[in-house]
């Protein structure tokens, strides 16, 4: 194993042995590290290798994986990130999320590249990893508490600098889009990774590390990292970023008609000024962020209940304009409740909007009106505690809820592959629609936020260049940053040169990657994840890579782009370009030659049992 990686996975079988769990260290091959880097890449490789195919995601056999990468926790910009992954209970396919947390740094200091939890603890428990040693502790006094209370109690016991991630009642109750939370305002695992943790009776993971793994050239790494931190600090956009962070996106989204409004019917919202970055500045009381970051972007405001709430663009757009709520202090309350209960704000904003639309169309008995803050607040508790039939229905996500309602509800259930769409309307953004449709976890923007490039070019075009751009971004964002595992925002938002990263990797590991090598790593990860989906779904079809019907059928009615909608035929041409560039056939199945080229020969026998592979 090259330096920089520890080469070690802590494998925990919950519900086994006299202590309620059995733990062992698995040393994984150096080849995996070179070929998949870490984070998402390592998680996908572990799932392919060790997950029993087609298992129920909420059964004990699912694997909950925490994975860091070769750059996590090192003295390079914004390196305090971790990937949390599992087979998703929301989508039935590969699921992961990225969370900024001290736990990532402590994991590095525990000389662990991944922690895998299998099985189910006999009773609510906390996994404690102290100086590399594992133990399971009872969580009877914590089960049922919200994430803030849980973390507060754990910090009292384990100290201010302990790495802690936990779930709230949503994870305990296995809401399909429950997430894992850390440090009161960090959330990861949109596709229900918190529900998987809950299904394992695991309330929290506490990590206390000891020493860093050996690095190839720590002195040079520190020097270069220091220079990069300085570049971030001196960048042109730094001051405004420190004022508004991702909240600056509200005004941009409104100007470009992509602000999700009334369940993605519209791309502009009359009340946008009441929820934008300047409004946030008026309410701001604090600023915080992930470890090892000098551009901290967690903007904390005082909400309508006088509590702190940490805001980001996605949270505000989905719990603001998308449900017709034009009051930031109230949006902040909904956001705070989501963080405390441990549920994803994007999916939540989508199911609430879905309920409002279903009510408007007379498809449900309950009255849910756009912008009705009190009703939405009540609904969140109904969902998390599954205490009403509507709450239980919405706890399943919009895809299942729309199947249940029938009629044309699936046309306006805003998801891809079961994961609710994040906060960019695509009536007039075909490349972004493609990015959502081909994201490896379902409709998330993290893999290819192509929309800022797209609106600055010919946004109505369906060109091969657009498919190429989506792949380029998927490579860098979804393939590499998710596997370095560091934050991508220094590059995305403040233009930190990407050229730093192969050098960081070299000083950390001693492995020299060219950009071609790195792109190949990214393509390998994407194609392996596609193979995983095919294995779990028992096949593939193009409609699984297609965005919701609303964007094709119902034009925008308001704003400068009124009348705009996506073109189904042209979208399919774009999808063909995408498949061709990826080396997948026109069903979206990787070709045999592509699998071989990427060193994924090992998936061929399994896939051949399911589909006929083209050469």
Question: How many C-beta atoms lie closer than 10 Å to residue 435's C-beta?
Answer: 34
In angstroms, the Cα distances linking 7 to 51, 114, 218, 433 are 20, 9, 18, 38
Helix/strand number for the chain, H first, E second: 27, 17
Q: What is the spatial distance between Cα 94 and Cα 274, in angstroms, rounded to a whole number?
A: 37
65 contact, one of ligand SF4, ligand PTT, none, CB 5-8 Å limit per kind: none
Cβ-based nearer residue to ligand SF4, 238 or 373: 238
Closest distance to ligand SF4 from the beta carbon of 303 (Å): 20
Closest distance to ligand SF4 from the beta carbon of 295 (Å): 5
293 lies in the site for ligand SF4, by CB under 6 A: yes
Cβ-based nearer residue to ligand SF4, 128 or 247: 247
Structural tokens at position 145:
């508490």
Closest distance to ligand PTT from the beta carbon of 123 (Å): 26
101 lies in the site for ligand SF4, by CB under 6 A: no
Site residues, ligand PTT (CB under 6 A): 81, 97-100, 179, 185-190, 246, 290, 310, 312-315, 338-339, 343-346, 446, 481-482, 487-489
Residue nearest ligand PTT (C-beta atom): 97
Q: Which of 40, 332, 404, 475 is nearest to 413 (CA)?
A: 404
Cβ-based nearer residue to ligand PTT, 274 or 314: 314
100 lies in the site for ligand SF4, by CB under 6 A: yes
242 lies in the site for ligand SF4, by CB under 6 A: no
311 lies in the site for ligand SF4, by CB under 6 A: no
* Count of residues interacting with ligand SF4 (CB under 6 A): 11
290 lies in the site for ligand SF4, by CB under 6 A: yes
Q: What is the spatial distance between Cα 534 and Cα 603, in angstroms, rounded to a whole number?
A: 11
What does the CA dihedral 42, 110, 213, 70 come to, rounded to 10 degrees?
A: 30
Cβ-based nearer residue to ligand SF4, 240 or 568: 240
470 contact, one of ligand PTT, ligand SF4, none, CB 5-8 Å limit per kind: none
Positions of E strands within 125-185: 125-130, 133-138, 163-166, 180-182
Q: What is the spatial distance between Cα 335 and Cα 318, in angstroms, rounded to a whole number?
A: 10
- What x-and-dash track marks residues 447-486 binding ligand SF4 by CB under 6 A? ----------------------------------------
Strand order across the 163-166 sheet: 133-138, 125-130, 202-208, 163-166, 180-182, 186-188
247 lies in the site for ligand SF4, by CB under 6 A: no
296 lies in the site for ligand SF4, by CB under 6 A: yes
Q: What is the spatial distance between Cα 172 and Cα 275, in angstroms, rounded to a whole number?
A: 31
In angstroms, the Cα distances linking 240 to 227, 254, 273, 353, 429 are 21, 19, 18, 31, 27
Structural tokens at position 357:
């639309």
Q: What is the spatial distance between Cα 357 and Cα 378, in angstroms, rounded to a whole number?
A: 17
289 contact, one of ligand SF4, ligand PTT, none, CB 5-8 Å limit per kind: ligand SF4
Question: How many C-beta atoms lie closer than 10 Å to residue 612's C-beta?
Answer: 9
Closest distance to ligand SF4 from the beta carbon of 288 (Å): 8
- What x-and-dash track marks residues 487-526 binding ligand SF4 by CB under 6 A? x-x-------------------------------------
List of residues contacting ligand SF4 (CB under 6 A): 78, 100, 289-290, 293, 295-298, 487, 489
């Amino acid at each position: 194993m090259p330096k920089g990686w520890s080469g070690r996975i802590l494998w925990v079988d919950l519900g086994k042995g006299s202590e309620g769990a059995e733990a062992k260290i698995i040393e994984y091959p150096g080849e995996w590290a070179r070929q998949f880097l870490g984070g998402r890449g390592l998680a996908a490789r572990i799932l392919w290798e060790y997950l029993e195919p087609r298992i129920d995601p909420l059964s004990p056999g699912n694997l909950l994986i925490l994975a860091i990468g070769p750059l996590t926790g090192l003295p390079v910009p914004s390196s305090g990130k971790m990937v949390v992954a599992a087979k998703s209970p929301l989508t039935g396919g590969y699921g992961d999320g990225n969370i900024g947390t001290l736990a990532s740094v402590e994991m590095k200091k525990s000389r662990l590249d991944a922690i895998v939890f299998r099985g189910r603890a006999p009773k609510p428990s906390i996994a404690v990893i102290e100086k590399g040693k594992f133990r399971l502790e009872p969580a009877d006094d914590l089960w049922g508490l919200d994430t803030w209370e849980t973390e507060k109690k754990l910090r009292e016991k384990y100290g201010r600098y302990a790495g802690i991630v936990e779930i709230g009642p949503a994870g305990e109750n296995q809401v399909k889009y429950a997430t894992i939370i850390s440090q009161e305002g960090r959330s990861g695992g949109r596709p229900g990774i918190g529900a998987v943790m809950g299904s394992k009776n695991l309330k929290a993971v506490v990590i206390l590390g000891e020493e860093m793994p050996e690095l190839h050239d720590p002195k040079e790494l520190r020097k270069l990292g220091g220079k990069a931190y300085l570049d971030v600090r001196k960048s042109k956009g730094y001051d405004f970023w420190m004022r508004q962070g991702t909240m600056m996106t509200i005004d941009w989204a409104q100007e470009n008609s992509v602000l999700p409004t009334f369940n993605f019917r519209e791309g502009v919202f009359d009340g946008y000024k009441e929820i934008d970055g300047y409004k946030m500045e008026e309410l701001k009381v604090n600023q915080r962020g992930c470890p090892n970051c000098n551009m901290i972007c967690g903007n904390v405001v005082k909400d309508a209940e006088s509590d702190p709430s940490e805001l980001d663009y996605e949270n505000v757009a989905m719990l603001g304009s998308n449900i017709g709520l034009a009051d930031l202090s109230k949006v902040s309350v909904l956001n705070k409740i989501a963080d405390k209960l441990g549920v994803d704000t994007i999916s939540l904003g989508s199911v609430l909007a879905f309920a409002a639309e279903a009510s408007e169309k007379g498809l449900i008995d309950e009255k849910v009106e756009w912008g009705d803050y009190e009703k939405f607040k009540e609904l969140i508790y109904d969902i998390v505690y599954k205490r009403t039939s509507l709450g239980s229905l919405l706890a399943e996500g919009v895809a299942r809820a729309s199947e249940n309602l029938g009629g044309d509800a699936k046309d306006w259930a805003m998801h891809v592959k079961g994961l609710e769409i994040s906060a960019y309307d695509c009536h007039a953004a075909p490349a972004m629609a493609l990015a959502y449709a081909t994201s490896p976890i379902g409709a998330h923007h993290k893999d290819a936020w192509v929309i800022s490039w797209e609106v600055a070019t010919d946004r109505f075009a369906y060109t091969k260049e657009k498919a190429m751009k989506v792949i380029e971004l998927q490579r860098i964002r979804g393939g590499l940053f998710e596997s370095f595992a560091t934050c991508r925002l220094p590059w995305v938002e403040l233009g930190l040169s990407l050229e730093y990263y192969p050098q960081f990797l070299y000083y950390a590991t001693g492995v020299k990657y060219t950009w071609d090598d790195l792109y190949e790593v990214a393509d390998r990860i994407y194609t392996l994840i596609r193979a995983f989906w095919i294995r779990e779904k028992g096949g593939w079809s193009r409609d699984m890579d297609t965005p919701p019907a609303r964007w094709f059928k119902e034009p925008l009615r308001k704003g400068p782009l009124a009348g705009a909608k996506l073109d189904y035929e042209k979208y399919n041409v774009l999808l063909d370009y995408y498949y061709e560039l990826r080396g997948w056939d026109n069903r979206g199945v990787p070709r045999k030659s592509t699998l071989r080229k990427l060193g994924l020969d090992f998936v061929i026998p399994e896939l051949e049992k399911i589909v006929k592979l083209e050469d």
